[in-house]
Amino acid sequence: MISFDLSPRIAEMKNAIRSLAEQAMRPIAREFDEKEHEEPHEFQNLMWSISGGRAFGSSDDAPNEGKSSGPREGNLGACVTIEELSWGDAGLYLSIPNAGLGGAAVMAAGTAAQKTRFLGRFAEGQPKWGAMAITETHCGSDSAAIQTTAVRDGDDWVLNGTKIYCTSGDRALRSGGFVVVWATVDRTAGRRGIKSFVVESGTPGIKVIKVEDKLGIRASDTAMIVLEDCRIPADNLLGVAEVHQSTEGFKAAMATFDATRPLVAASALGIGQAALDLARQELAQRGVEIRYDRCDAHLSAIERDFLDAEADLQAARLLTWRAGWMMDRGQRNNLEASMAKAKAGLAVTRVTQKCVEILGPIGYSRQLLLEKWMRDAKINDIFEGTQQINMLIVARRILGYSSKELS
């Protein structure tokens, strides 16, 4: 029989993170939405002291630990935990010190020595962040069109280019962390020439020139980064330097998204669940209960809308859990990761908008956090691959088409 129950370990962790989100995140969510470029230092220090810089929910999958006697469930645990943290506040969740997207790239494409070297620093010292720099002014969803260059010079690589919309980029370069930069070693080679490089904090030639003002997730920093003759050691390249006839190197870099897209979907779930919980609470205070034992014909319009939104979110949750579960078992999950990301992005946008609509003027006002959650929700339909790109990936995988055949 198929079971959708969480293991006792994950269920216990889920409850603990929910308590943390309620007590440490909700009370300051509005403050750091309004103070976009101020650091929530007290919260960040608290989270660093709890996690030691390691990603929440993935303790049994830490490099070289090898202590888990049960089934691996680090990725599923991370999905559940990130949902709860985002239920507290998605912007604050993204401000938590950890290796982040940069760490996911190292885990996906790095050697064992690189994982130890670059990720080991996140267990010591002061709070640190990792980041990943892909997007460029002329290159958003088409990662193969990257123009940032990496040129080999003796024992070094020299990087030049500009990256935009880099989540936690400013914090990574200020904190002693690192940024994983995607660059081409051969522009004529297209996807075959795309590689990822670790640029450590303090490296000459990399600087932040702008931190964005945003609609949502305002406690998170989003940076524009410029690389000018930025010189890094040769072994900061993740993967192999050779430009093969195949696109294996590009695929290795893209494998990062197989791990991170379910996590973005999980964050969307947390925002959507927060909106549903608040809408239910506000309706109950006004004498409107959501009835689950009635057919549609006997429900009010509000009840039908609420139940449709709840079902939409639960469908996204099951897709997300499946994508994480598959990765824990070493199964290829690029189809499922894109399905989860696409569904969750759509669902959270619809759910938060519907909850604002259901509550009317109070939902639209700043009296509640609901309007903030509607603003926070939309990014989940954009970053880590837009809705359209993820739907395209799903279509290619299901229909068996290549990127050249279906674009």
Catalytic positions are: 384
- For the chain, counts of helices (H) and of strands (E): 15, 8
- Of all helices (H) and strands (E), which one includes residue 357? helix 334-359
Pairing assessment for the beta strands 156-167 and 237-238 based on DSSP bridges: unpaired
12 CB contacts (<8 Å, ≥6 apart)? none
Phi-psi region of 166 (alpha: psi -120 to 50; beta: other; left: phi over 0): beta
- Of all helices (H) and strands (E), which one includes residue 91? helix 90-94
Q: Which of 384, 376, 382, 168 is nearest to 260 (CA)?
A: 384
What phi, psi does 283 have (nearest 5°)? -65, -40
Determine the residue type at 80: V
- Spatial separation of the C-alpha atoms in residues 312 and 314, rounded to whole Å: 6
What do you get for the CA distance between the two ends of the chain, in Å? 39
In whole angstroms, what separates CA 303 from the centre of its chain? 32
Token duo for residue 365: 């006002």
3-class secondary-structure state, position 294:
coil
Residue owning tokens 């267990």 = 123
